[in-house]
Structure 1
Amino acid sequence: MTSPEPRAPRQRLVGLLLLGIALVLLVSSVTWFGSDRGAIGIAQVAVGLVVAAVGGLLVRRAQPR
């Protein structure tokens, strides 16, 4: 029988990737606010926070208990 442990490194890597994407989204959203497109900036911040939450959840689930 196979154990679920081989999934943990993959989950962690995907979670870290999502956290990196979220960081880029959150940092680059400032440019939308600077160009008088605040609605797009707010949407980008919202998406960045959702992606960060999912990435954080994946990284946390991949931690050994």
Structure 2
Amino acid sequence: MTSPEPGTTRDPRRERLIALLLLGVAVVLLVSSVTWFGTGQQLVGIGQLVLGAGLAVVGALLYRRATRA
């Protein structure tokens, strides 16, 4: 039996930490997007909402994958 290639092993703890980091960034983006709408820059606010929602989805998927391992 050969040893696995570097970088091919899954580390659920690392995946969980990355997922939590992404979820934290997503929360900050979603909460702070209100500021952009308040200053009249709706396009920036919408972009921040989309980015925050995308990061939340990716973070949730990573967290789910890490906890199932």
TM-score of the pair, normalised by structure 1: 0.89
Matched with 2:52 is 48
Structure 1 unaligned blocks of 5 or more: none
* Identical aligned residues as a percent: 51
Structure number with larger C-alpha Rg: 2
TM-score of the pair, normalised by structure 2: 0.84
Structure 2 unaligned blocks of 5 or more: none
Give per-residue Cα distances to partners, 1:16-38, cap 9 Å, x unaligned: 00000000000000000000000
Q: Does 1:61 align with 2:65?
A: yes
Deviation at 1:64, TM superposition (A): 3.1
Matched with 1:27 is 31
Q: Which consecutive aligned stretches of 4+ in structure 1 deviate over 4 angstroms post-superposition?
A: none
Number of residue pairs aligned between Structure 1 and Structure 2: 63
Summarize the alignment of residues 10-25 of structure 1 with structure 2, pairs less than 5 Å apart: 10-25=14-29
